[in-house]
A and B are shown apart, each in its own frame.
Chain A
Amino acid sequence: MNRVRLKVNGQEHEIEVESCTLLVHAIREDVGLTGTHVGCLTGDCGACTVLVDGASVKSCSVFAVSADGAEITTIEGLAGDEGLHPVQQAFWDEFAFQCGYCLPGMLLTTCELLDRDQDPDDAAIDQAINGNLCRCTGYASIRSAVRRAATRMAAGDPDALPESQRSESPSAEPPPSA
């Protein structure tokens, strides 16, 4: 067994894992956060996407031991006490999910994209979400949600802020970055 330290959504965890334990299983079973989903275990579907030190990875293709010391963001880490992250809000507003199984990957991939590119065009959006399969939506609403999140975050639109902060100044600090 290996002792592994992970900072998940800002919280320190120390877990014991076998060498062969995949990061996705460590997150789901040892850390206990089940919002990250398993869809294929081949690195194709993207439902297991998390951010490791700010970069999106498919956590089925990473050994938990390799992530020792890493900071990890999962779907559970996006919303703050004050409400949904603007990307989550945009996905809800645009009906950008149905069953929700692909959501962890779609949301975190979008967060990474918008961190890198505040005004992505359709090609950039497709390039970002091409690693994530969705079988329900046909992707149309997901593209719309990414655009909506980008527009709101870039414009400092109060709607882009977590719900509880919306009455405050629009120039309040930016939403928690993923």
Chain B
Amino acid sequence: MITKDFTYHAPTGLDGVVSVLAEAAGDAVVLGGGTMLIPDMTHGRTRADVVVDLSRAGLSGIAPGDGEVVVGATTTYADVLADDRAPALVPLLRVMAGGVTGGPQIRNKGTVGGSASYANPSSEVPACLVALGARMRLASASGTREVEALDFFTGAFATARRPDEVLAALVLPALTGTSVGYTKLKHAESSWPIATAACVPGPDGALRVALGAVAATPLLVTVDRPDAGVADPAWRAHVREVVDAAVTEPWSDVLADGEYRRRVAPVAAARSIARALETGGEEETP
């Protein structure tokens, strides 16, 4: 039960959101889908004097633009899955959204921007955004700025967003003809992800893989192409070497310690690459 009441705002536009945030001077929390924030408030892990609910602010939707795709912060996983254009516009987010833990109830409410802002090391969205080279569009009363995803995630549950800012949208480079690959390892359906890997080959063919849940923030590595196939032990050893070098401080929680994550991160990476190269990233991960 939330023991401390708060002032609730549900502005009907971005201007309203940023002005409430400016006024609250750091005492506000921003409510996206609520799937993580509200349980946290219920259990006393987050307390706030002001809650700014984005649900009426009109920040939802997927809009293709010139060489990029703008995904509104309050776009839910279900929105992504229901959008016929998603396989072409946001293929990685679509594969990721289909596997989000917690059932349709969570996919109906959970938002891409909310997950990014919450920056739970165990969440899937941050690493996907890093893999895509997304830019995070942050709005405040003093204007709008964009931050590279890699710079946005600054630590466990910490981002570059200032308290007076709201994450308004994610700007993704358009992926024309690129086939992505995604792998998620978790203990069971109930479990947080233990290691995720999102492979987005660059235009130059470089295999960029962002690893999620293995460290406090997503890790981005670039791996050589498997010229002798993804089963080639030498290539697997290379992937392990590259990933090992990146995983300097593995994330650890009650489900899996850092050592386990370090062990399986290269496996996830190699599998995501295999999917990107072999199946076009369509396959659901276990």
Contacts and interface: CB of A to CB of B under 8 A. Distances in A.
Interface of A: 2, 18-20, 22, 41-44, 46, 49, 55-58, 60-63, 65-66, 109, 112-113, 127-133
A57 B4 CA distance: 24
A65 B7 CA distance: 11
From B10, B39, B41, name the one whose CB has the most chain A CB atoms within 10 angstroms.
B39
A20 B43 CA distance: 12
B108 A56 contact: yes
B6 A20 contact: yes
Interface string B151-192: 000000000000000000000000000000000000001100
Contacts of A61: 33-35, 38-39, 109
From A46, A63, A65, name the one whose CB has the most chain B CB atoms within 10 angstroms.
A63
A62 B35 CA distance: 8
A18 B51 CA distance: 13
Contact of B51 (A19, A128, A130): A19
Given A20-B2, A128-B103, A43 B8 contact: no
A18 B1 CA distance: 12
Contacts of A130: 101-103, 189
Interface in B228-243: none
Nearest to A19: B8
A18 B105 CA distance: 24
A39 B9 CA distance: 28
18 contacts: A19-B7, A41-B39, A42-B39, A44-B190, A55-B108, A58-B109, A60-B42, A61-B33, A61-B35, A61-B39, A63-B38, A63-B51, A65-B53, A66-B34, A66-B53, A127-B104, A131-B104, A133-B190
Nearest to B76: A55
B38 A44 contact: no
From A19, A65, A109, name the one whose CB has the most chain B CB atoms within 10 angstroms.
A19
B55 interface: yes
Contacts of B190: 44, 133
A8 B104 CA distance: 21
Nearest to A50: B105
B55 to A, nearest CB: 6
Given A56-B103, A63-B34, A65-B10, 10 more contacts: A22-B2, A41-B39, A41-B42, A43-B102, A44-B102, A57-B108, A60-B38, A66-B31, A109-B103, A133-B190
Interface residues of B, number: 32
B104 A109 contact: yes
A53 to B, nearest CB: 10
From A56, A61, A109, A129, name the one whose CB has the most chain B CB atoms within 10 angstroms.
A61
B2 A46 contact: no
Interface string B18-58: 00000000000001011110110111000000010101000
Contacts of A127: 103-104
Contacts of A132: 103
A49 to B, nearest CB: 6
A112 B103 CA distance: 12
B105 A46 contact: yes
B5 interface: yes
A129 B104 CA distance: 8
B104 A128 contact: yes
Given A20-B41, A57-B108, A46 B103 contact: yes
A112 B104 contact: yes
A57 B33 CA distance: 10
Nearest to B99: A127
A43 B106 contact: yes
B147 interface: no
A63 B53 contact: yes
A58 B8 contact: no
A60 B104 contact: no
Contacts of B1: 41
B183 to A, nearest CB: 18
Contacts of A18: 5
B34 A62 contact: yes
